[in-house]
Amino acid sequence: MSHRDELLEKIRDRRARVGVIGLGYVGLPLALLFEEAGFAVVGFDIDPAKPEALQRGESYIRHIGAERVTEAFARGRIVATTDFDRLAECEAILVCVPTPLGRHREPDLSFIRATAAEVAQRLRPGQLVVLESTTYPGTTREELLPALEGRGMSCGTDFFLAFSPEREDPGNRHFHTRNIPKVVGGLNPASQDVATALYGAAVERVVPVSSPEVAEAAKLLENIYRAVNIALANEMKLVLDRMGVNVWEVIDAARTKPFGFMPFYPGPGLGGHCIPLDPFYLTWKAAEHGVWARFIELAGDINTAMPSHVVDRTAKALNGHGKSLKGSRVLVLGLSYKADIDDDRESPSFEIIERLREEGAEVAYCDPYIPASRPGRDHDLGLASVPCTADEFARHDVLIVSTAHTDFRDAALYRGVRLVVDTRNLMASLSLDEGENGPEVVRA
């Protein structure tokens, strides 16, 4: 029996052990999904705190409840470890590691390359390797394939390789790992067969495509589509603000058109691991081929300029109250990049806070989902969240709504607040009296 047929049989009978490398916002739900589908799973992470927490039945991702983790690990089919030698136990290895940008917006593939080296050291016949990390077209073929074939085995005969982009949306109550269609692109027909079979055993719909490059490009297109349209909304906000027109009302009016329009909304900048970064993966690769992706670059420039715009609007609003930004007490509402989750990756709140500090403001933040700021690759605020109370809010000269958490949608919180700079149109949903009996609200 060929390695392909043997692996297909193991997948069909749920005898294939699935390894997931990277137990973050993508890898953890994927590992739990395969466990819940009846597979034995080994989760890998270089941070020992994550396997230790999972083995205790604890979840470090708020929207993935501890109960789900506890139930999964109590069944005995899943383990979490830092021991990469256990990769040899797995028939399928799914790679979910970060793909950040470097200092000059160049792709940083260091995590992919390091992981490929770890897998290659332990690769054995009959294994399937799938990259899920978002990256530019060609990465699977150009980076993973040579590393794995360097062991003397042949892809499609001895082992199998594919790309299947993650499509997680943290906190989305309607779409999750099981019911989001899974795009799969194998290096060859045998790789496509086993990768499609594996995901088909755990998700509701698999979408096979002709190559890893198509799957890689599809993921970039999805995120660039959002980035470009958000940039358009942000630019419309800047233009209409000068005209004295409420961009939020404009969008609400436009969205009544039943065809040819989809609403996107402005904000303080882009957040999350995908949308702020992925467009630059494609522009970098395009330049390598002698093409300048001007439209995508322009959208990126607009979106990355929004934190500075928020700080400028805050300074102008304070001036209207006879105050300078320097020395003013500023409270940023929300550290996570979107409402009601604890994911702060690439959140524009970090840059807003740092720019406010550079201007001499006394800055604090409030986020019930993130009690203390976490050090990142580019930021280390060293702050803890202040209480979400009216008394605390009233202590500050200005509030900046950066994240529209449900916790902030309580009109009573703004009793005694004098000035709010609102980047999310949150205040419009509250019944507040502006002026003598309520705060001045400035859209930004």
The structure tokens 């383990």 sit at 79
List the structure tokens of 194. Answer: 């086993």
d(CA 224, CA 278): 7
* CA gap 33, 420 in Å, rounded: 42
Burial 39-70 (b: 16+ CB within 10 A, else e): bbbbbbbbeeebbebbeeeebbbbbbebebbe
Residue 155 among the catalytic residues: no
CB 178 within 8 A of CB 202: yes
Which contacts of 103-107 are long-range, i.e. CB under 8 A and separated by 24 or more positions? 105/280, 105/283, 105/284, 105/300, 106/280, 106/284, 107/135, 107/136, 107/280, 107/281, 107/284, 107/285
Say if CB 322 and CB 249 are below 8 A apart. Answer: no
Q: Which of 90, 96, 155, 274 is catalytic?
A: 274
In 336-443, alpha helices (H):
348-358, 390-394
132: CB partners within 8 A, 6+ apart: 26, 30, 94, 95, 96, 163, 164, 165, 166
**Catalytic residue positions?**
274
